[in-house]
Amino acid sequence: MAVERNEDWGEVAPVPAGLEWCADDREAAMVITAARRANKPVPPVGLLGGDLHRTLGGARSTAPEPGTPATRLDVDLGAALLDGKLHWFLAHLVARRSWLHGPVSVAANAAHIGTWNIAPRAHPGDGRLDTLEAELSLSDRLKARRRLSLGTHVPHPGINVRRPKAVQWEFIRPTPIFLDGTRIAAARSVSARLEVDAVEVWI
Tell me the per-residue pLDDT of 67-90, one tens digit each, with 9 for 90 and over.
Answer: 999 999 999 999 999 999 999 999
Q: Which of 12-21, 89-98, 152-161 has the lowest mean pLDDT?
A: 152-161
Q: How far is CA 195 from the centre of its chain?
A: 13
CA–CA distance, 135 with 102 (Å, rounded to integer): 6
pLDDT above 60 for 103: yes
Q: Which CATH number fits domain 81-196: 3.40.50.1110, 3.30.230.10, 3.10.180.10, 2.60.200.40?
A: 2.60.200.40
> What is the model's pLDDT at position 8?
65
Domain-by-domain residue ranges, the chain? Answer: 11-76, 81-196
CA–CA distance, 46 with 64 (Å, rounded to integer): 10
CA–CA distance, 109 with 46 (Å, rounded to integer): 17
> What is the model's pLDDT at position 5?
42
CA–CA distance, 92 with 88 (Å, rounded to integer): 10
pTM: predicted TM-score of the whole model, two decimal places:
0.90
